[in-house]
Structure 1
Amino acid sequence: MAPSRFVRVRIVLHPRDDLLRQARRDWADKPELRESYRTFRPNVERVISQIASRGGRRLKLRYLGTGKNNAGSNAAPQP
């Protein structure tokens, strides 16, 4: 097979590429956004950590997904 003189490359953008570009632009242009992120990020990470563990112990999930794993808990089923 002879090498082609012209190579066609197809670029596939994310369906929400415009939104992602705007978010990156806002991050670069707005220092108050970065300051707010640095203020609240540690608290969000802590809450996620507390939710992911029970009694200070990490949960060991038996099944993939959420339906079967939540079957024995008192939590409401996830839609």
Structure 2
Amino acid sequence: MPTQALLPLLLLCVLLLQAQGGVRKRRSTKKEMQQTQLPREIKICEKPVNIHMCRRPCAYDKECQANNICCSTFCRNICMNIL
């Protein structure tokens, strides 16, 4: 292809991109923003754990109810009362 044809072809590509609205940035939803925030470090549970407590899995503290934290045990990360 001759070099004279490259410039009009490049101009055509730029015009087509602008006609389509260009490159758009997608807005982040609230849920996506929460997922991108790194959870707090999960620490080992300091209290002894009963097997029935393993039914309350969690990934971070916000998933637990008030006065509970997410901590690591032998079965998985669980919500445990801090009091």
| RCO higher in structure (CA 8 A, sep ≥6) | 2
Above 0.5 in TM-score?
no
* Greater share of helix: 1
With the shorter chain as reference, the TM-score category is under 0.3
| TM-score, reference length from structure 2 | 0.24
Q: Which of structures 1 and 2 has the bigger CA Rg?
A: 2
